[in-house]
């Protein structure tokens, strides 16, 4: 039977040099009150120290909450995660080479928990081949002090795979909504189910401890068995939060009942995008939809495509999904990314990636931060000007999230983003007008890091599009090829001259649908 303790008591249970696993996305699943107590105890006593943290998705709010609570030198010395950009203090330590860090595919990490629980040696998959995770490229290592090899190439039945090694998990640090007296955990007010069960069983079967923060307690026997997502038999300690600020459902809201499935939100109440170049990009992506498609939407402009589908009245004709585990409904953009309004079903994090990895997605719409002439995409690590040292560059570290899994396995992949960084553009009389050219190019001779491999995609036979407000590219015969151009845009001056390489131009070059540049569209045809 689980023991109920305070956050301060929980912090003292974590041994020095231990490996700690967490589950969730954003602030979903994150045990904020316990994390604060861990940091406070470290500042007071120097313990726990030398921790290794393991996480799947981003854990943080890009400010002070989440994994950044643990960003003190010596507290965490090794960090493995799919996304590290939202935990600023931790990120700073990685950039300063004061913490070793691996970035691995999200779907790999959330499914590796099950391999650990079952005492299997690791996860064998093609996910990551040809990307920076491939040990022949960077092995997922994000700085100079990261030397440990966590991934290796193996051959099985005449084919190449990557092997991600299992490890012993000493502590699972998780969050639910309700704990009954026996420690059974309900996720009643949570959004995604996440991978909490898998992390708990990995720790339990490693001989470790499971700590779960909750908001409420209930009498034993009052929780419905199907509502219990982590059985009490797997839970050692329960912390009942004393501050509701430690129990936010997402980065953006304390509680949205449409995310937990308690209500269905009217479609007219879901925010829509004003007409802008960003909306044009989202519309052009939506134009690729076919009735019955199962679709994943990434963060940024891709997630905003969901509001286009809702606005155009097609939410019942396709199935929008999130990697956190939602099927159907309208996925939410930041700061609520990972949640979905009016979802039809919610599965655990790892099961969703099984679906993605097996090619279940008909189409994925993902971010476009950098692209190069081979069709490679980078969304994980960038060299940017160092403001403190003029003339020098520094790394901006983000990580791939679920990008690698989803981009490698989806039947059609669209990379969506603005053509350039920090430019000024607007739509005037149905045409795109560039007021000021962007000062940061996205289409480079070579990307800073390969998060998506154009060569791998060319071999796999995927259909790959790159959608911007100025033009649309397609990867054809391994070459970035312009296939559409926006009304009002000059091919040479506004596109080719603003790239570090010369793309191919389709002999059938077309204008983008002019209706996309009007207030009303109606261009999703099913």
- Which of the residues are catalytic? 323
Alpha-carbon distance values, 439 to 145, 223, 394, 398, 526 (Å): 32, 56, 17, 21, 39
Please calculate the CA angle 64-68-69 and round it to the nearest 5 degrees.
80
Q: Which helix (H) or strand (E) holds 484?
A: strand 479-485
Alpha-carbon distance values, 113 to 21, 342, 476, 484 (Å): 9, 29, 38, 44
Strand 471-476 with 3-5, pairing: unpaired
State the Cα–Cα distance between residues 139 and 135, nearest whole angstrom: 4
Give buried/exposed letters for 351-368 (b at 16+ CB in 10 A, else e). Answer: bbbebbbeebbbbbbbbb
Alpha-carbon distance values, 289 to 315, 332, 391, 466 (Å): 11, 19, 45, 15
| Residues 6+ away with beta carbon under 8 Å from 428 | none
Q: How many C-beta atoms lie closer than 10 Å to residue 135's C-beta?
A: 16
DSSP string, 432-447: EEEEE--SEESEESS-
Q: Are 127 and 408 in contact (CB under 8 A)?
A: yes
Question: Which DSSP symbol is given to 226?
Answer: G
DSSP string, 92-103: HHHHTTSSEEEE
State the Cα–Cα distance between residues 307 and 316, nearest whole angstrom: 13
State the Cα–Cα distance between residues 383 and 394, nearest whole angstrom: 5
- Provide the residue count of the chain: 526
Q: How many C-beta atoms lie closer than 10 Å to residue 268's C-beta?
A: 8
Beta-sheet strands, E only, within 169-322: 171-175, 178-180, 185-186, 209-214, 216-218, 228-230, 237-240, 294-297, 319-321
| Closest alpha carbon to 295 in 196, 240, 387, 361 | 361
């Amino acid at each position: 039977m689980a023991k109920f303790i305070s956050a301060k008591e929980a912090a003292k249970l974590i041994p020095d040099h231990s490996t700690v696993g967490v589950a969730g996305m954003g602030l979903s699943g994150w045990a904020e009150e316990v994390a604060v107590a861990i940091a406070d105890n470290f500042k007071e006593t120097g313990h726990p120290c030398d921790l290794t943290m393991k996480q799947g998705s981003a854990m943080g709010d890009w400010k002070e909450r989440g994994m950044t609570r643990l960003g003190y030198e010596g507290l965490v010395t090794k960090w493995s995660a799919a996304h590290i950009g939202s935990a600023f203090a931790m990120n700073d330590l990685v950039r300063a080479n004061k913490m070793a860090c691996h970035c691995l595919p999200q779907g790999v990490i959330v499914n590796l928990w099950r391999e650990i629980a079952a005492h299997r040696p690791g996860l064998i998959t093609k996910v990551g081949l040809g990307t920076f995770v491939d040990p022949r490229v960077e092995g997922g290592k994000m700085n100079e002090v990261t030397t440990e090899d966590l991934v290796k190439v193996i051959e099985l039945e005449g084919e190449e795979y990557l092997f991600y090694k299992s490890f012993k998990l000493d502590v699972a640090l998780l969050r639910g909504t309700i704990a009954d007296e026996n420690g059974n955990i309900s996720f009643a007010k949570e959004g995604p189910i996440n991978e909490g069960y898998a992390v708990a069983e990995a720790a339990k079967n490693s001989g470790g401890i499971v700590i779960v923060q909750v908001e409420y307690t209930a009498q034993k026997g009052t929780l419905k068995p199907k509502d219990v997502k982590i059985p009490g038999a797997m839970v050692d300690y329960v912390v009942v939060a004393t501050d509701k600020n430690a129990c936010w459902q997402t980065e953006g809201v304390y509680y949205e009942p449409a995310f937990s499935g308690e209500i269905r939100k009217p479609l007219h109440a879901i925010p829509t995008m004003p007409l802008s170049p960003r909306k044009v990009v989202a519309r052009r992506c939506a134009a690729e939809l076919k009735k019955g498609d199962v679709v994943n939407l990434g963060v940024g402009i891709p997630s905003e495509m969901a509001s286009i589908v809702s606005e155009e009245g097609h939410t019942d004709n396709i199935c929008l999904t999130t990697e956190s585990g939602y099927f159907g409904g309208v996925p939410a953009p930041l700061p609520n990314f990972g949640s979905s309004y009016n979802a039809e079903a919610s599965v655990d994090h790892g099961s969703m990636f099984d679906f993605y990895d097996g090619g279940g997605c008909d189409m994925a719409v993902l971010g476009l931060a950098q692209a190069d002439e081979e069709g490679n995409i980078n969304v994980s690590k960038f060299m940017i000007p160092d403001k403190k040292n003029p003339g020098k560059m520094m790394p901006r570290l983000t990580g791939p999230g679920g990008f690698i899994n989803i981009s490698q396995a989806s039947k059609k992949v669209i990379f969506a983003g603005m053509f350039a960084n920090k430019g000024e553009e607007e739509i005037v009389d149905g045409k795109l007008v560039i007021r000021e050219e962007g000062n940061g190019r996205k289409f480079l001779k070579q990307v800073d890091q390969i998060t998506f491999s154009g060569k791998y995609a060319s071999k796999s036979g995927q259909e790959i599009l790159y959608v911007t407000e100025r033009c649309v590219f397609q990867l054809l015969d391994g070459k970035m090829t312009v296939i559409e151009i926006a009304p009002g845009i000059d091919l040479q001056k506004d596109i080719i001259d603003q790239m570090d390489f010369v793309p191919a131009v389709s002999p059938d070059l077309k204008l983008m649908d002019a209706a996309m540049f009007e207030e009303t569209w109606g261009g999703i045809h099913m």
